[in-house]
Amino acid sequence: MSAGDLYSLDVDEPTALTPMLSDGFEDWSKQVASTGFCSRPVRLFGQARTFDRRSGQHLSTFDSRNLPDSVLYVRCGNRRASRCPSCSHEYQGDMWHLLSAGVSGGDKGVPESVSTHPLVFLTLTAPSFGTVHSSTRPGAQPRPCTVNAAPGLCEHGRPRRCTEHHDADDSRVGQALCPDCYDYEGQAIWQWHCPELWRRFTIRLRRLVAAHLGMSEKASRDLLRVQFAKVGEYQKRGAIHLHALVRLDGAPSDDDPYPSPAVDVPASWLAERCLEAARDIEIDAAPVDAYDSARVLRFGRQVDARPVQRHSEDDGDVSPEMVSAYLAKYATKAAGDVAVDGTPNRHLKQLRETCLELCGRALLHEGFSSPYALLGKWADALGFRGHFASKSRRFSTTLGTLRDARRKYHRDREQLETHEDPSSADEPLDVAEHIVVLNEFRFVGQGWLTPGDAELARSAADAAREWKDARRTARQPHEKGKNHGQALLHR
Ligand SMILES: [Zn+2]
Ligand SMILES: [Zn+2]
Ligand SMILES: [Zn+2]
């Protein structure tokens, strides 16, 4: 089963609200809830047989034929909000835990002591590829669109600047003032090399940290290590921005995976090194073909690095809760959410087409040996082929660990309900330890069976999300820090 199969098997039979009319509505609703209100769950047909590992005894058989629709629904797990709001919401929650554990510790096996390590919130931007319409940041003083651009007309007869004021939802925001002047090729090629810029940035940062302490990089590794978590975000102009948390730790061991750095430096020192590294690096990008010339690629000038102060009430601080929450939100804003495919957004469409054109030119010129031969494959991601969210190994826990823990929790609860009475059992609560499940399932499709079912699942999902959000907000009383963070991130 390939990803292609998953997306080609869509629901298309227009039927009425079948579960409402059938006796199995309650069972069906349970299935909806068990998928976490996924909007496009995978449908599986088959059996799961449960055995006791110690005795070999067959305990039970779970058969999808006993379920409503005769299939088992499993959540799709897509992290893009445009594909599945529920699964993306869950991903965002996991991402929040992962980041928050790395920022404040005291969660998911990360000790609270990491909250004393120097931590920097870093934003690496793309450079300018031409003037685009821009909106005023929420909460900022309204200002004309492109006030710093030169007056007059460009060589294509279009105004070089725009004095209007645009709201954030104005469809012109992010569009080029002159598509003919705008360097679409430059942007596509920059996005293509962006993962390499990031990689070089991390190498350069480690070197600079060592050099500023007067050590070789090898010697510095015994005293400190740079850990990071990074998330990519598309701007309105389709350019990728990288937001990262950069933390200094000591050299980890099996006994202490998150030790404090052995050198006492403030977060502001680390922020300086981040800025320096971002300014230092560049890439010589090969030309696309014989008619093209080489380009020197760098990060944009609006690179920003701020210390995250975790034990202070100072107004100027970036709050740790805000940083984790916003990075987690960015992590779900993937290419799917800039809606390139079939979009009326001319600018993004042009960028996508440029990726395809460059790929074609590269193949004609050098075949598959060209560095741009695969650019077309990433046209929907506007040329960005990197991970939207990544981290160094020791930043904190992994998404996989979080998912396993949740799965285990649900499985244990289910098995306690079906097999054992916890009050009389002399086994540990961890019943899953000696239970073996043999799964024999076949993929039969994706999505709820009818449009009516899909609609019911969607409204249930909305209600569940509202409830969860209300609960989460009640647990995070950091409104002041949050607002400040919002202003900071929209700069
Ligand atoms: Zn889903
Ligand atoms: Zn404008
Ligand atoms: Zn022009």
- Specify if 469 maps to a domain: no
Could you tell me if 148 and 289 lie in one domain? no
92 CA to centre of ligand 1 in angstroms: 13
Show which of 349, 370, 391 is a domain's final residue.
Answer: 391
75 CA to centre of ligand 1 in angstroms: 5
351 CA to centre of ligand 3 in angstroms: 16
The count of domains in the chain is 3
Could you tell me if 368 and 411 lie in one domain? no
Residue 395 DSSP symbol: S
pLDDT score for 312: 55
C-alpha distance from residue 423 to each of 412, 417, 428 (Å): 15, 12, 11
DSSP notation for 328-386: HHHHT--GGGG--TT-S-HHHHHHHHHHHHHHHHHHHHHGGGSTTTTGGGGGGGTT--S
Structure tokens at 349: 């469409």
Could you tell me if 235 and 368 lie in one domain? yes
Could you tell me if 121 and 17 lie in one domain? no
- Specify if 98 maps to a domain: no
164 CA to centre of ligand 2 in angstroms: 5
State the ligand closest to the CA atom of 134.
2
- Specify if 415 maps to a domain: yes
Could you tell me if 160 and 205 lie in one domain? no
Could you tell me if 122 and 210 lie in one domain? yes
Could you tell me if 291 and 225 lie in one domain? yes
Note down the domain range covering 173: 131-177
Could you tell me if 155 and 251 lie in one domain? no
- Specify if 265 maps to a domain: yes
Could you tell me if 306 and 286 lie in one domain? yes
Q: Which residues surround ligand 3, an ion (CB under 5 A)?
A: 154, 156, 178, 180-181
pLDDT score for 18: 44
Q: Quote the Cα angle for 139-144-145, to 5°.
A: 95
Could you tell me if 190 and 257 lie in one domain? yes
Q: Are 147 and 161 in contact (CB under 8 A)?
A: yes
Q: Are 210 and 219 in contact (CB under 8 A)?
A: yes
pLDDT score for 478: 45
- Specify if 324 maps to a domain: no
With CA atoms as reference, report the closest residue to 295 among 189, 199, 448.
Answer: 189
What are the residues whose beta carbons fall under 8 Å from the beta carbon of 154, sequence distance 6 or more?
160, 177, 178, 180, 181
Mean pLDDT by 10 residues, the chain (491 residues): 31 37 72 85 88 84 86 84 82 82 83 91 95 84 80 93 87 92 97 95 96 94 92 89 93 91 93 97 93 94 87 59 76 56 78 94 88 91 84 81 73 54 37 72 88 86 80 57 37 31
- Specify if 201 maps to a domain: yes
Cα of 456 vs its chain's centroid, Å: 28
Output the CA torsion 358→361→367→368 (10° steps).
10
Could you tell me if 140 and 124 lie in one domain? no
Could you tell me if 223 and 360 lie in one domain? yes
